[in-house]
Every structure is written in structure tokens, then in C-alpha cells.
Amino acid sequence: MQVVMISKACVVGTYQRKLEEMAAAWPEMSLTVVVPPRWQGTALERLHTRGYQLEVLPQALAGNFHWHFYPTLGRLLRRIRPALVHLDEEPYNFATYHANRLARRYGAKTVWFSWQNLLRHYPPPFSWWERHTLNHSDYALVGSREAERVWRKKGYRGPMRVLPQFGVDPKTFTPPPTPRPVSSVHLAYVGRLVPEKGVDVFLHALAELPGTWHASILGDGPARESLRRLTLRLGITDRVTFRPAVPSGAMPRFYHTVDILVLPSRTRPNWMEQFGRVLIEAMACGVTVVGAQSGEIPQVIGEAGLTFPEADVPALHHILRELISDVARRQSLGRAGRVRVLTHYTQRHIAEETIKVYREVLG
């Protein structure tokens, strides 16, 4: 059974573990995954490449979210003649429209994926591409219940399943081999440095926080310098370290040093937290997680961490104050987070559920 997945996200090495698990879950499937050489500054990482074929195709308009596509994709599909093509892309992107037209030309069924959790209406040609995808595909995968509601409102009537795009490999993302030291608490934010991620809320909450602690801001983005200046105004420069983003394979080692991960996202008119992957990575490593009540964050954390109202600095300050002083609670939440990931968010679980969708589509 020939299946092709088209996924720019799979340039990230740790995400490729799902592909290995998919191949293992359905040995009769011959899986080919199309990726670009790089995506928006991230070069292709080859970390997990067993059991399937990784095809690197040139990308036209490389790095442009809405307009990119793969000019030579037709040749690949003509050669492979897949029964199913998984479009790991939003339905309003040209890459999705282009690949969907090609796939159906060669008789393949198609599945698309979306994170979109806000009801947004696009002008032509995006609305044309979106409508074509909704009317000429066989199944939809969405990353959250909110995304499911959005696409039903936008008129998709086909079968749909809520299933995150990726999980984590619990053999890679593990608790540290030795217990974390309790003499000083390491707090961290991991992600893009942009206003909607609410890093400023985190920094304000750290001001006048008692106890022995230090914090890391790991990531890059246009807000970096303004956030540095904020630490100076708050008087916490000597306790906050800004670190550049690191390759995905290095993240478990970083999480081993972290006691509390904070994801302080805030909703904007054009954005709401879609999932918060860093949460499940940290939870798998036994880190206590704290997140804003934005988008999917409360559903991801469940009872295995703590949440606070968006942009509520006093509430976050109170949570951090309590966690810093209560080692036993941090350890308990860390264990609960690991259990939650093992139950819901492993790459194997996501892979097996994806294969169930493939089988359903192919009958």
C-alpha cells in the first residue's frame, strides 16, 4: 500500500519519530514523506529515518507559508502512484491545493491537517484553494476541538478527527537520570519571542519573586531586545539568561535542567495558542508545567500542571511563589505530567491513531 505524506514540519528531526512509528504500525504500507531542504531557517535534520522513504524535493517560494509548493511533486506521484496522499498542510495554502489536485489526478485519496482555531475568512485566491480542498478531499485531521468547530462552521462536511500533529518519543524525552537538585529552582520559557507568547507576563511575574531561583528564556524572535530591556527595568537581569534556540535533538538535555516550564501565551485577534508542544516535551521529562488559559493549553495540561488567566501577572506570580517553596508538589506534578504524556501524547499513540484514519479512508 503506497502512501505519500507531504510535510514541511518533518524537517525537524524529533518529529520524524512519528514516521518510524507509523511505518511500524502498518508494515504493509510503503510510506514516502516529502520534505523541503529547509523551512524558515531550519535545515533538514535526519534523526529518525528508518522504515520509510524521506524524499527531499525543491520548494518554490521557499519559506512562504501561504504560497510555497513543490514543483516536481507531480513526477514523484506519477512514479509512486499512491493510494493515499496526506497533506500535512492548512487547506488554504497553495501547497495543499497544488498537491491535492495532483494526487486526485493520479487516483489517490487525500487527507489534510489543520491547526486553525480561529474563524478566519481569506480573500481570493486563498478562499478558492480552501473551498476546493474542503470539497475534494476524503478526511480531515485537526489539532484541537476548537479547530474542529472552525472547519465545521466553514462548511467541511466530511469525516474529521481531532488528533495532534505530533507527539513526543518518551524514550528520548525522559526524566533526568539523577534527581534534579533542590538548592536552586530553574524556571524556563521555550519558544518564539513574539508578543502573543506573553514572555513579558512571565518576566513581570518573576519580579520580586522570593527564594533561590534563576530563569532561562530559550528562543529567538523580534521581541528579544525589548524583553532584555524589560529585565533591566524589573531589576532581574542577573537572574534571567537569554539563550538562542537549539536543535530539537538537544532539547531533552535542556529540560533535564529545568524545574518549572511556563507557557504564558495570550490570545490576539489573529492568533490563539494552538497546542503548546513544549508542554508535552517538558512533561515527558518530568518538568512541572504552568500555562496560561489560552487556546488548547488547559486541555493539554489537564490535571498534570497548573494554569492561570491570560496576562494575569499576580496569579502567575502566586503560582511560581508556591511552586518554588514546595519541592514535593513540583515532583508530584512532574510525575503526573509524565503519565499524561504516556497516556495521550506519545509519537506511537499519534502514529497508531493516524494509521487508523488511513485504514478508514482506504476501506
Q: What is the pLDDT of residue 152?
A: 98
**117-174 residue pLDDT tens:** 999 999 999 999 999 999 999 999 999 999 999 999 999 999 999 999 999 999 999 9
Examine the domain organization and report whether 354 and 281 are in the same domain: no
Query: Quick one: pLDDT band at residue 298, thresholds 50, 70, 90?
Result: very high
- Our CA dihedral for 51, 55, 56, 61, rounded to 10 degrees, sits at -130
pLDDT of residue 182: 87
Mean pLDDT of 220-241: 97
The pTM of this model reads 0.87
pLDDT band at 69 (very low <50, low <70, confident <90, very high): very high
The rounded distance, in Å, linking the Cα atoms of 170 and 173 is 5
191 and 302 inside one domain: yes
- Asked whether residue 178 carries a pLDDT value surpassing 90, the answer given is yes
Residue 247: the pLDDT is 87
pLDDT exceeds cutoff 90 at 185: yes
User: Residue 19's pLDDT band (boundaries 50, 70, 90)?
Assistant: very high
192 shares its domain with 51: no
Its domain, for residue 289, covers 185-344
Residues 189 and 277 in one domain: yes
Average pLDDT, the chain: 96
Claim to verify: residue 160 and residue 192 sit in the same structural domain: no
- 172: nearest Cα among 329, 21, 17: 17
- The three-class DSSP label of residue 5 is strand
3-state class (DSSP) for residue 30:
strand
Classify residue 191: in a domain, yes or no. Answer: yes
145 with 268, same domain? no
Residue 250 is assigned to a structural domain of this protein: yes
Q: What percent of the chain has pLDDT over 70?
A: 100
Same-domain pairing of 104 and 53:
yes
Q: Which CATH number do you get for residue 151?
A: 3.40.50.2000
The answer on 132 and 84 residing in a single domain is yes
For position 306, what pLDDT does the model report? 98
Report the run of H or E that residue 161 belongs to, with start and end.
Answer: strand 160-162
Length of the chain: 363
Does 180 reside within a domain?
no
In a domain, 171, yes or no: no
Same structural domain, 199 and 231: yes
> Does a structural domain hold residue 172?
no
214 and 321 fall within a common domain = yes
Asked if residue 95 and residue 118 are part of one domain, the reply reads: yes
pLDDT, one tens digit per residue, over 340-350 is 999 999 999 99
In this structure, are 299 and 336 located in the same domain?
Answer: yes
pLDDT of the residue at 317: 98
Grid cell at residue 175: 526524566
What average pLDDT does the segment 224-243 reach? Answer: 98
pLDDT computed for residue 313 by the predictor:
98
β-strand partners of 86 = 5, 111
Q: For residues 273-293, give the mean pLDDT.
A: 97
Specify if 177 maps to a domain.
Answer: no
CA atoms within 13 A on the CB side of 329: 14
Largest interatomic CA distance in the chain: 64
Average pLDDT over residues 33-45: 94
What would the mean pLDDT of 85-96 be, rounded to a whole number? Answer: 97
The per-residue pLDDT for range 303-324, each reduced to its tens digit, is 999 999 999 999 999 999 999 9
User: Which distant-in-sequence residues (6+ apart) come within 8 Å of 61 by Cβ?
Assistant: 67, 68, 69
Number of domains composing the chain: 2
249: confidence class by pLDDT, cuts 50, 70, 90? confident
C-alpha cell at 304: 498534570
What value does the CA radius of gyration of the chain take, rounded to a whole number of Å?
Answer: 21
Interval 24-36: pLDDT, tens? 999 999 999 999 9
Distance CA 95, CA 109 (A): 16
Residue 128 lies in a domain: yes
